[in-house]
Structure 1
Amino acid sequence: MKLEDFSLNTKKITRIIDEDDFCSGRTLKSYLSSRVEQIKPSGIRRFFDMANRVEGVISLGVGEPDFVTHWSICEAVIRSLEKSYTSYTEIAGLMELRKEIAYYMNSRFQVSYSPESEIIGTIGGSQALDLSLRTILNPGDEVLVIEPSYLAYAPLVTLAGGIPVPVKTTIETNFKPKPEHIKQSINSNTKALILCTPNNPTGSFLNKDELEEIAEILIEHDLLVITDEIYAELTYDETFCSIASIDGLRERTIIISGFSKGFAMTGWRLGFICAPEGFSQEMLKIHQNTMLCAPSITQYGAIEALKNGQQYVQEMRKNYQKRRNYVVNTLNEMGLDCHIPGGAFYVFPSIRSTGLSSEKFAENLLMKEKVAVVPGNVFGEGGEGHIRCSYASSIEALREAMKRIKRFVESSCLD
């Protein structure tokens, strides 16, 4: 086929799709999955696209470390390439990596998993969550989602055939779920709870006592829990506790985590699952037919991160904590009520005092003062009246951003 013929055919196909006039009279919509149609486009992406069109923007929107991956990790990958370690690995990942993950989880968080049968390397934490949900859900199963929540939780539940049920939290409880609210959301169709601590977008952190209260409910109602521990390394005031370490919870817990946040390896796209063998071996059936295995070179980088990266992690944590303290104090001083987040690198201040909706505040702030934040309503209805700001930026950028936000709050543009 000549290039010009291909171009003509492409135009013809585009015209047909645009006209919703497929063969046999079928429309484009009739070919689409009803589950996919339920998924809304990313609210965060819309604001990123807006910010990209504005010059001189300071972005507090990206949920990504501003630190670069430590060079020793990069060197480990270079060495693997020099040795031509570029083949497929085992479906669950390199055994050396899984052994390092097992040691890491046991030594850091006091949870024990078999590298041979209970640990899987994944394409980031998002795929780990997708695998977990598709493994446990049947059509109509309900999954409790603590809101405000990471915006992928509810869509992935829907895509797996389940029904996401929000459990709302408020700034009055530092965005921590009340046990009675969890209980009120449970019915005969409830199968699992998705827990994220430290939380994205609020930064809220659940300590051991609070997790034990939730554990009692899970045991009483015979529920599973998927715990997203991607921010486990980034806690500031209390020691991180995995709910899987609580008596009676290991066998009903699926841990998803990865290297993106704590080790500043977002673009490497490597996560992992720790789960009882009965779950993990079923997950491998999906994994082998969709991803086959995580990229080999990122696995070699992760091995180095686990072996020798803790000092670098500690340095990042100390830096984040200083930034957190500065941002929280400054926001409260300007009249935007902000709780002290126990972990991650986000603050979630209330902007209700301005009289603006979350979206209007974010849009006006971007246009007037060139600061990009994320409106809280994209993280669920409970996020309305708030904005998410990431403090994964230099202290200089944060100071300038806070100055602009204060000017915006005090200006007449709020009228």
Structure 2
Amino acid sequence: MLNPLAQELNNALSGSIAEPLFSELGKRIFFPNGIIAQSGEAKKLGKTANGTIGMTVIDGHPVTLEAIKKYAPELTDAELVAYAPTAGNMELREIWKEKLIQKNPSLKTKNFSLPVLVPGLTAGISYIADLFLGQNDALLAADPSWDNYALICETRRGASFHQFTLFADGKFNIDGFEKAVKKEAETGFVRVLLNFPQNPSGYSPTKDEAEKICQILKAEAEKGVKILAISDDAYFGLNYEQDINPESLFAKTADLHKNILAVKIDGPTKEDFVWGFRSGFLTFANPEMTEDQYNALIKKLMGIIRSSVSCASTPGQSILVKAIKDPVLEEQKLNFKKILEERYRIVRDFIDSHSCSKLEPLPFNSGYFMSFYVPSKKACELRVKLLNEYGIGTVAIDEKTLRVAFSSIEKEKLLNVYETIYKVAEEL
């Protein structure tokens, strides 16, 4: 029997696109009227005394050890050590929504939720899987894909992980994607996760490819198929070629059709070069969802957060609020992006002017990585030989895919690294 609070949220979401997509956990989950909710009320109304939260307070402020405080002198005690709200620092959430519109101007006229802060993008993907992926469901993603997708989908959620071949003839495999979507649609549902710039390939779709991807999804939605369209935008904005679609696919899927629930997973970890802050965001969009329905869906997400990590770390959120409002931030980010693009150009020039009979570079134009297809299916052997004999670290995504993160290799070393990769591959 469902908890009354869960039923209340389900009632609020009745008739929305979220309702048929929920997993059994998604149906059961709710945000309890417990310590966090009651503390929130007391924070507003408890003027005499607030005995709701487990913190040590003096003169109305949480205490902070000097050994901690001295390393973050510009943060107040609350900004440094107090618990953060379950859905994240409200000011940061509002700022991030404004930034989404700045980076994706077409969102300005579209109906989407306030972003919810989660402890990293991996957590965001995991929470979406909790809400919308059950044991009888399937998640569609590219081949190759980041290995964490399968771990979350298959191992953690017990669902099926289906893949389509990402490339054909040196381009995004539109035909393969369409066939895979149509196959999923036979069940009445499509749950698809697209990640651009893609990990591990480092590819982002062109404007034409992005349009065709959306046309394929819309065609199935018009037949009554319920679609969960997840955009993993971990590396958003790191584009190095002119023909790349400049906006997130989320901006296109946000109002594509009433039968599509669009989800954006993004955050400052890569965009703002703060990997260890573990701060990500989840944002929902659908042309017919109301504000009340968004709030109900967010409360379910808050229940997932509360029942796992309770809340994300406070200091990172506090620093991000200040940093994003700092006028020098964008200029500093641009400098780092130039460094990444310079490394990309070196790798691009090498790949375009060299060949290796044992390796096939996958298309790449953005992000942190590029990958090789290894026809011999000896990617693991190649990785080990490069590491043990030449001290070069790479990642074997699977037996046929070797990923190289040019983002973490200084430009002076890049040519030697790639020459060595080609040499060792030929030897194998």
TM-score (normalised: structure 2): 0.70
Matched, 1:92 2:87: yes
How far apart are the structure 1 equivalents of 2:282 and 2:195?
14
Unpaired stretches in structure 1, ≥5 consecutive residues: 1-74, 378-383
Match of 1:329 among 349, 352, 358: 349
What's the CA shift for 1:93?
0.9
1:248 is the counterpart of 2:256: yes
Q: Is the 8 A contact 1:234 1:343 kept in 2?
A: yes
- Cα 1:288–1:184 change in 2 (3 A) is same
Report the equivalent of 1:3. Answer: none
TM alignment of 1:256-405, pairs within 5 A: 256-276=265-285, 277=294, 278-308=296-326, 309-332=329-352, 333-335=354-356, 336-352=359-375, 355=376, 357-377=378-398, 384-392=399-407, 393-405=409-421
Distance 1:208 1:129, change over 3 A: same
Aligned CA distance change for structure 1 residues 288 and 117 (closer, same or farther; 3 Å): farther
Cα distance, 1:288 vs structure 2: 1.6
SS where residue 235 of structure 2 aligns? coil
1:48-69 per-position Cα deviation (integer Å, ceiling 9, x unaligned): xxxxxxxxxxxxxxxxxxxxxx
The whole-number CA distance in structure 2 between the counterparts of 1:115 and 1:211 is 20
Query: C-alpha offsets along residues 159-217 of structure 1, whole Å, 9 cap, x if unaligned?
Result: 23422111122363445453433334313064410110110000111234322322233
Q: Displacement of 1:368 after TM fit?
A: 2.5
Q: Deviations over 1:261-314 (max 9, x none)?
A: 121111111111111415333211111221222111110122234333222222
* CA-CA distance at 1:135 after TM superposition: 0.9
**1:125 pairs with 2:140:** no
Structure 2: how far apart are the matches of 1:279 and 1:211?
27
Please say if 1:79 is aligned against 2:74. yes
Tell me whether 127-136 or 179-188 shows the greater mean CA deviation: 179-188
Give the aligned residue type for 1:307: K
244 and 397 in structure 1: CA distance in 2 versus 1, 3 angstrom threshold: same
Whether the 8 Å contact between 2:350 and 2:415 is mirrored in structure 1 is no
Q: 1:83 to 1:281 in 2, by over 3 A?
A: closer
SS in 2 for 1:371: coil
Aligned residue number for residue 408 of structure 1: 424
SS at 1:80 equivalent: coil
Question: Cα 1:102–1:323, aligned 2, differ >3 Å: closer, same or farther?
Answer: same
Change (3 A) 1:133 1:293: same
CA distance in 2 between counterparts of 1:207 and 1:351 reads 25
Q: Deviations over 1:310-342 (max 9, x none)?
A: 222222222212211211332451424324512
Question: What does the per-residue CA deviation read over 1:129-159, in whole Å, with 9 as the maximum and x for residues that have no partner?
Answer: 1111111123301111111111111221222
Q: Secondary structure at the match of 1:194?
A: strand
Q: Among all aligned residue pairs of Structure 1 and Structure 2, give the percentage whose two residues are the same amino acid.
A: 20
Q: Secondary structure at the match of 1:275?
A: strand
Does 1 or 2 have the higher relative contact order (CA < 8 Å, sep 6+)? 1
Alignment-derived partner of residue 185 in structure 1: 183
**Structure 1 counterpart of 2:420, one-letter code:** R
Name the CA distance, whole Å, in 1 between partners of 2:183 and 2:71. Answer: 47
Match of 1:293, as an amino acid? Answer: C
Per-residue deviation at 1:391?
Answer: 0.5
The structure 2 residue matched to 1:150, chosen from 146, 153, 175, is 146
> How far apart, CA to CA, are the structure 2 residues paired with 1:364 and 1:351?
14
Segment of structure 1 superposing worse, 79-88 or 385-394: 79-88
Unaligned 5+ segments in structure 2 are 1-69, 286-293
Matched AA of 1:169 = L
Shift in Å, 1:101: 0.3
Aligned-partner Cα distance in 2 for 1:208–1:294: 35
Contact 2:144 2:401 (8 Å CA) reproduced: no
Whether contact under 8 Å (1:165, 1:185) holds in the other structure is: no
How big is each residue's C-alpha offset from its partner over 1:73-98, in whole Å with a ceiling of 9 and x where there is no partner? Answer: xx996412566642112211111101
The answer on whether the counterparts of 1:167 and 1:185 sit within 8 Å (CA) in structure 2 is no
Poorly superposed stretches of 4+, deviation over 6 Å: 113-116
